[in-house]
């Protein structure tokens, strides 16, 4: 059983080959392939956490589609001053499928 923990847009995700991950928007090359940085690699009983060894590890993913997350409403209110502020936000996301861990 081989899996890796990768850095995915400010978060870390545990991935195996075939896993579909939704992460912050990233740019892919013209073929739709993205390379993710590994933080940890588990290959059976062998666990790799050394940064020099992880520099050789390549986790590749194929971009499936770009999408937007749910709308988040931010409201600020201060009592007795008449201050009200309302703001919305939708995060830009990318859905990728892991194609290889080498």
17-33: per-residue pLDDT in tens?
999 999 999 999 999 99
54-57 long-range Cβ contacts below 8 angstroms, 24+ apart: 57/4, 57/101, 57/102
Q: Cα separations (Å) of 38 from 4, 33, 74, 83, 88?
A: 7, 16, 34, 46, 33
Query: For residue 40, what pLDDT band results from cuts at 50, 70 and 90?
Result: very high
Contact call for residues 90 and 68 (beta carbons, < 8 A): yes
pLDDT in the model for residue 9: 79
Closest CA to 63 of 2, 102, 3, 8: 8
Answer whether residue 10 shows pLDDT above 90.
no
Task: Judge contact between 9 and 26, C-beta under 8 A.
Answer: yes
């Amino acid at each position: 059983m081989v899996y890796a923990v990768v850095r995915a847009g400010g978060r870390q995700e545990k991935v195996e080959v075939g896993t579909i991950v939704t992460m912050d928007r990233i740019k892919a090359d013209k073929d739709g392939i993205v390379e993710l940085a590994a933080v940890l690699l588990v290959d059976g009983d062998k666990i790799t956490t050394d940064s020099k060894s992880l520099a050789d590890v390549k986790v590749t993913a194929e971009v499936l589609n770009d999408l937007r997350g749910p709308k988040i409403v931010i409201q600020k209110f201060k009592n007795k001053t008449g201050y009200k502020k309302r703001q919305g936000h939708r995060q830009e996301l990318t859905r990728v499928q892991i194609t290889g861990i080498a």
